[in-house]
Amino acid sequence: MNAAGNIEALKTIVHREVHRILRIWGQTLVPPAITMTLYFVIFGNLIGARIGEMHGIRYIDFIVPGLIMMSVIQNSYGNIVSSFFGSKFQRFVEEMLVSPTPNWVILTGYVLGAVARGLMVGAIVLVVGMFFTRIQLHHPLVTLATLLLTSVMFAFAGFINAMYAKKFDDIAIVPTFILTPLTYLGGVFYSVSLLPPFWEKVSQMNPILYMVSAFRYGLLGISDVPLGTAFAVMIGFTVALGAFSMRLLVQGRGLRA
């Protein structure tokens, strides 16, 4: 297929993904808005008012970047893992596999769909956050680059999960037992500089810390880790997960007998 054909195939996959997100908006867009409103009310307003400031910033303002990141991570991952596994489970993934659509177009299409949901949910959480906070954008480019890199990285991670998954339980295990703990321990609700030195070192092995810190730098101008290190980690993980996703797709693991 020529370049124009590949673009049409890519547009078709992205269109189908976005259409799906909007068709089931009650499952995809509303729950994060409700959950984050509760976080802002309980952790920000009620408990945060007693905590005071973190790095000289109101606690409720401090947690906004982490909450947006948390939503972006969970929704980018959740979108691709459920959508791609669903297409495997119902076998309509075969519609693409029997067509001349190249593997890289399939992967890019699903990743863009996941990024679209990550950004939609991120925007919703930001709007919700603006009702409770006074945040300003300190570094728009850093904010946008972090948002996109994080979303792409977790889209790849979700894709890998979907490729290996054989039943619906398999797509719930990683988010429950790995993603959620890493997110909560990635400095969403606190600065890792508050931890004892040993646990601060342990936290630095958590990639989500770098995303939350870079995003917090973009929004608030403060970070727990050097910005260069944060971007190196994000780019490194994104490239590695992307390459592994592509390899699985080319091998046809679980897709082609």
Which parts of this chain interact with another protein (CB under 8 A)? 1-2, 4-6, 8-9, 11-13, 15-16, 19, 23, 87, 90-92, 94-102, 252, 256-257
Taking the least distance from each CB to another protein, the nearer of 201 and 253 is 253
Q: In which element (H, E) is residue 234 found? A: helix 227-251
**Distance of closest approach, residue 168 Cβ to another protein, in angstroms:** 16
Q: In which element (H, E) is residue 58 found? A: strand 57-58
Asked if 45 and 38 touch (Cβ cutoff 8 Å), the reply is: no
**Distance of closest approach, residue 250 Cβ to another protein, in angstroms:** 11
**Distance of closest approach, residue 12 Cβ to another protein, in angstroms:** 3
H-helix segments, the chain: 3-23, 25-28, 30-39, 48-51, 59-89, 94-97, 103-132, 140-164, 170-174, 180-184, 197-203, 207-220, 227-251
Tell me which residue has tokens 């945060």: 48
Taking the least distance from each CB to another protein, the nearer of 106 and 135 is 106
**Distance of closest approach, residue 29 Cβ to another protein, in angstroms:** 17
**Distance of closest approach, residue 174 Cβ to another protein, in angstroms:** 24
**Distance of closest approach, residue 19 Cβ to another protein, in angstroms:** 8
Taking the least distance from each CB to another protein, the nearer of 27 and 45 is 27
Taking the least distance from each CB to another protein, the nearer of 23 and 201 is 23
Distance of CA 163 to the CA centre of its chain: 18
Residue type, 122: G
Taking the least distance from each CB to another protein, the nearer of 45 and 99 is 99
Q: Give CA–CA dist 83/43, Å, rounded.
A: 32
Q: How many CB atoms lie within 10 A of CB 187?
A: 29
Taking the least distance from each CB to another protein, the nearer of 31 and 102 is 102
DSSP 226: -
Buried b (16+ CB within 10 A) or exposed e, 123-157: ebbbebbeebbebeeebeebbebbbbbbbbbbbbb
Of the chain, the end-to-end C-alpha distance in Å amounts to 24
**Distance of closest approach, residue 235 Cβ to another protein, in angstroms:** 31
